[in-house]
Amino acid sequence: MTPLVLTGAGVSMEDVAAAARNAAKVEVTPSVMEHLAKARKVLDEAAAAGQQIYGLNTGLGANLGTAVEGDASAFQRQLLDGRGAAVGDALPIQLVRAAMFARIAMLSAGGSGLSPHVFSALVEM
């Protein structure tokens, strides 16, 4: 099967279906990875300069105005741990694959500031 190649542009419903139903391999162009790295650098520089960045060094939701004190990586881990539990039946694999593919397709546009290594881990999943 031909791999699905993410270029940072949109994807089709057929692409989402192929990722979900056919377990199509997903690849990413080098330009996407370069764009992600540049966006992350901008984010890191802004944080280093003391700029408040939602969810990175500030709280979320109602805690938006609350600055994260100390180790921001510990805060990020706490966010994952706090949202890592679910209630109910597991979702069907095809639904999870479709949702994950749609998310990485959106992230491939590069505006989120997501670390390239985290993006690569999502693609590998």
Kindly state the tokens that stand for 77: 């881990």
User: Which residues, at least 6 apart from 93, have a Cβ–Cβ distance to it below 8 Å?
Assistant: none
Host domain of residue 109: 12-23+30-124
The answer to whether residue 1 is domain-embedded is: no
The answer to whether residue 50 is domain-embedded is: yes
For residue 100, what is the domain's CATH number?
1.10.275.10
Integer Cα distance of 118 and 121 in angstroms: 5
User: Which residues, at least 6 apart from 19, have a Cβ–Cβ distance to it below 8 Å?
Assistant: 4, 26, 97, 98, 100, 101
Kindly state the tokens that stand for 115: 């670390």
pLDDT at 65: 80
Per-residue pLDDT of the chain (125 residues; tens, 9 = 90+): 789 999 999 899 999 999 999 989 999 999 999 999 999 999 889 988 988 888 788 877 887 788 877 777 787 787 777 777 777 888 999 999 999 999 999 999 988 888 999 999 999 99
pLDDT at 105: 96
The answer to whether residue 49 is domain-embedded is: yes
C-alpha torsion sign, points 35, 36, 40, 41: negative
pTM of the model: 0.82
